[in-house]
A and B are shown apart, each in its own frame.
Chain A
Amino acid sequence: MIRKHYTGMQRRAENMIWNAAGRYDFDPPFMAFTEKGKPDPYFNLVIGFAAKWLDLDRICSFFASYAGSRRAEEFDELMWLGIENCVYEKEVIERPILARLRRDRAQQFYKNRQTLSRQQMMLQSMTVYDQQQARWSKVLGQKGDPLSPAKRSLAKALEIPGSVTTDELIGRLTGILQQYFRYTPGSGGDGEKHTPVTGKAAQLLRRVLRREDRVQDTLLMRTGTGIGDADGAAQLAHSFETGKSAQQLQQDEAYIRKAFGSCTLSEQQLRVLENSLCTGAHAECRLWVTDSRGQRTGEDREIDKVLDDAGKQAGRNRRYLEKRAMLIQSGIKRLSARLDEVLTSYERALPEEAKAGRLEPEKAWRLPALRDPEVFTHAGEETERSITVDLLLDASASRLNYQEELASQAYSIARSLQACGVPVQVLCFRSLRGYTVLQILKNRNERDCSRILDYFAGGWNRDGLGIRLAGSLAAPKTDAARRILFVLTDASPNDSTRIPSGDGLLSKEYQGKAAVLDTKQAVDDLREQGIEPAAIFLGPTLYLENLHTIYQGRCVRIHRIEQLEEAVSSLLDQTLRQSR
């Protein structure tokens, strides 16, 4: 019934818990689902009430204290029965409907019991089953199945009153484990040897366990050189790069070609672009623009590993999307409607002939001469929409922790903008081995958005060059009145290729203030060219100042990747309202 690890209808269950808790700022450590995989409304409320009335962190530490036991799941079920009674009594006073919901839950228990197969029954813990039926029969005022005196005594002990505090509750639950199961939490009392995990370590363990489950199998992409920063996003450590030999340069190009596919620009186009963009701080950088994927050759294990990882990530992105197909479809519908509203309020109505409105001087003669009253114009129903949007995703290692979410959000945004008739291009950039690689995940004239799901993270982010490079792929001025570039960023540009100094002696690392100022310059340059960059910030507060320095107010901050869609519509609104 209550599972620590779950995917699927999770969001709905989380919402039930948050609503009951009266706050939305925590990740529920438990969620409740029925055998059919649907959220269990009553028990999710119970979990929420536990967060409302009790110290959830301490309760979690208690649960963690026996996490290593082989009977942990059985204990979970029993402990929650105890907590259920306690928080029910606390909450029912101000939420009378809870009594009815509890009765419904009890009836549901008996209904489910009739439909359980013999095998399912055998899989259930009889201890848990006995206690559940004792609880629910009492709720319904019925005489339940006969129980032994010990079981009756346990049922009584699990009826923890609403008057207890968190400490008293934990004390009682610990007492139950000791008295009825001869298990002392943290002591390995059931004969197993394990070290109790408590306090911060327990919290960390829970986070790790939970995360593994939520985005399972992504660990392969997350290992390697990633070291966690304060906000949990991985960052790469800097290493010095010295002048490269011709052979090394060739090796680097071969690596990039094999890993990311061939360059969409011709040799000559690429050189022209490098000559114009790879100057100053980027003099030692190279560029690569691609819309394909690398091919596994079997010759180079390192590249094959990268391609395998990228392929696996693409698979995970697709599975993530498929699992949430319904939710994402409705999200697209909602976002399209919102974007359409924003675009509609911006677009100008084309003038229409009318009998009242603005007098058209060149037609005014028709009024006295022909008695034709239609010499006025007013705002008509036809409108003009002339916007292109490019979405530039940071594909550096700092995004490792939410690649699936990011890919699916970018997919939804692209589909929604497309539904509003806005040509949209999706790009991602990363830097490695001195190359800033721009991947075109969706062309402006491409209807299919599925290539966006090839997104994967890894490498550095040389924002100044990435933004300039994306600017070079913006739609021509003649194609659109407004050319908008949304950048998903953590405002922390960081690359292993150093900034050369004028005399070549004192090069600087591409990070910190120098990198921020370079990125700001890139943004300013694009604005001068008539492109409108704006940022969606997802990163630690530490970099907020960078964000404002670089984008000068044209930015929104999001705290969770799920807010990306909302941010895009609000940023689009904000951008369109700014006069050019």
Chain B
Amino acid sequence: MQDILEFLQKEGVEQELLDGIVQFRREGAPEGELKNRVPVPDVYYLGTAVWEKAIAAILCGKNLLLAGPKATGKNILAESLANAFCRPSWNVSFHIGADAAYLVGTDTFDGQRVVFRPGPVTLCAENGGFGILDEINMARNEAMAVLHSALDFRRELDVPGYHLVQMKPQTRFLATMNYGYAGTRELNEALASRFVVLDMPLIGQESLERLIRERFPDLKDEAGFQFVSLFYELDKKARSAEVSEKATDLRGLLDAIDLMHRGITAGDALAMCISGKTFDPYEKGLIQDVMDARIDPALKGSDLFT
């Protein structure tokens, strides 16, 4: 994998920002086990403008809220940022049971006494990590309230019965938020005001073509163009609320091409990775119609790859 700073330089990211990253890194590199927590993404996020905004926000000490629909690369960007700034990261997924204790830590008995077992946010604060708060808008307000002091100018986390955790200067929180095409799930105001928001655009056609080309260098150009067109046609159908967002599945499309590379026919691969993920027969039919009008289901690896 190419070094991320070289990659960013090639992407045309402002030198001043790159110098900022180098300076940031010099303030302290992770040691010991923390090194393993620095994420190494399979692919780096593509999109110079977004990169520049995100880097600038982090250098200014801001927390970032990456907002956008599916397939906009929110998590890829979050991981790429942690990698670029060389910081350990803690990933917090907001599921139903995510409460304040899950984030900050819980009490437990170590056989001798009741001790505090720190949660991901506390560990992130103590180690100057990047906390990736995935699907933050799914969090309940009361669960997030404990983070308010950590996210604003106070930069501290008060854990009752433990101590006041002062956040290391490198600590940042990168939240992701998925909003549907039909309506938005609002993030509560107190929380939203503690982030700078980066509206993530859907991956551009050129970037998608490049992503596919880099991932599958032997894929024929013509086939690559058809897959890219298929992705946008499915996206348009989802945006028009004719099918669910499941259809806009970039990971699914890449997986399908991977399967074709291994010898599965195009029809089977697309069914396994895209239309098969929809369990509603009517919706599946609509997705299938789009695929049938774009890709010949009988195509094999030899037809698609050089």
Contacts and interface: CB of A to CB of B under 8 A. Distances in A.
Contacts of B101: 357-358, 378-379
Per CB-CB distance, the 6 closest pairs between chain A and chain B, nearest first, are: A570-B183, A356-B108, A24-B240, A566-B182, A379-B97, A359-B107
A373 B108 CA distance: 8
B293 A41 contact: yes
B9 interface: no
Contacts of A349: 96-97, 99
Interface stretch (A94-102, A203-211, A252-260, A425-433): A94-102
Given A16-B293, A41-B289, A97-B295, A379 B99 contact: yes
Contact of A326 (B96, B236, B241, B282): B282
B293 A570 contact: no
B268 to A, nearest CB: 16
A45 B289 CA distance: 10
Interface string B95-132: 01101011000111100001001000000000000000
A163 interface: no
B149 interface: no
Given A12-B289, A358-B106, A19 B282 contact: no
A367 B109 CA distance: 9
Contacts of B97: 349, 379
Contact of A577 (B109, B188, B225, B289): B188
* Chain B CB within 10 Å, residue with most, of A349, A373, A573: A573
A364 B113 CA distance: 11
For this complex, into which size category does the number of interface residues on chain B fall?
A: 35 or more
Given A22-B236, A376-B107, A574-B185, 10 more contacts: A18-B237, A20-B293, A95-B229, A327-B282, A347-B96, A355-B108, A356-B117, A373-B109, A570-B184, A574-B186
A364 B109 CA distance: 11
B234 to A, nearest CB: 9
A96 B222 contact: yes
A165 interface: no
Given A12-B286, A15-B289, A330-B283, A367 B107 contact: no
B293 A344 contact: no
Contacts of A359: 107, 114
Contacts of A563: 182, 241
B53 interface: no
B106 A376 contact: yes
Contacts of B183: 556, 566-567, 570-571, 573-574
Interface string B125-158: 0000000000000101100000000000000000
A333 interface: yes
26 contacts: A15-B242, A15-B286, A18-B240, A18-B242, A19-B236, A19-B293, A23-B236, A41-B292, A95-B294, A97-B294, A97-B295, A344-B96, A345-B140, A346-B140, A349-B99, A357-B101, A357-B107, A359-B114, A373-B109, A383-B96, A566-B241, A571-B183, A574-B185, A577-B185, A577-B186, A577-B188
Contact of B138 (A22, A345, A556, A567): A345
Interface string A368-387: 00000101101100010000
B290 interface: yes
Describe B's contact surface by its main secondary structure.
mixed
A327 B286 CA distance: 12
A333 B117 CA distance: 42
A330 B293 contact: no
B281 interface: yes
Describe A's contact surface by its main secondary structure.
helix
Interface string A342-365: 001111110000011111000010
Contacts of B229: 94-95
A214 interface: no
Contacts of B283: 330, 334
Contacts of A346: 140
Interface in B259-290: 280-283, 285-286, 289-290
A182 B242 CA distance: 44
B180 interface: yes
A442 to B, nearest CB: 25
A160 B59 CA distance: 61
A579 B190 CA distance: 12
A570 B283 CA distance: 20
Contacts, number: 126
Contacts of B285: 12
Contacts of B188: 577, 579
Contacts of A101: 292-293
A1 to B, nearest CB: 18
B143 to A, nearest CB: 10
Interface string A89-113: 0000011110011000000000000
A418 B173 CA distance: 39
A20 B294 CA distance: 10
A367 B108 CA distance: 11
Nearest to B285: A12
Contacts of A376: 106-109
A227 to B, nearest CB: 31
B182 A567 contact: yes
A397 to B, nearest CB: 27
A358 B96 CA distance: 17
A357 B106 CA distance: 5
Interface string B74-114: 00000000000000000000001101011000111100001
Nearest to B240: A24
A326 B281 CA distance: 9
B244 interface: yes
Contacts of B14: none
Contact of B236 (A24, A358, A367, A567): A24
B258 interface: no
B19 interface: no
Nearest to A39: B289
Interface string B208-247: 0000000000000010011001000100110011101000
Nearest to A558: B182
B199 interface: no
* Chain B CB within 10 Å, residue with most, of A18, A97, A574: A97
Contacts of A567: 182-183
B289 A19 contact: yes
A356 B185 contact: no
B79 to A, nearest CB: 24
A13 to B, nearest CB: 10
A15 B99 CA distance: 43
A367 B293 contact: no
B11 interface: no
Contacts of A334: 244, 280, 283
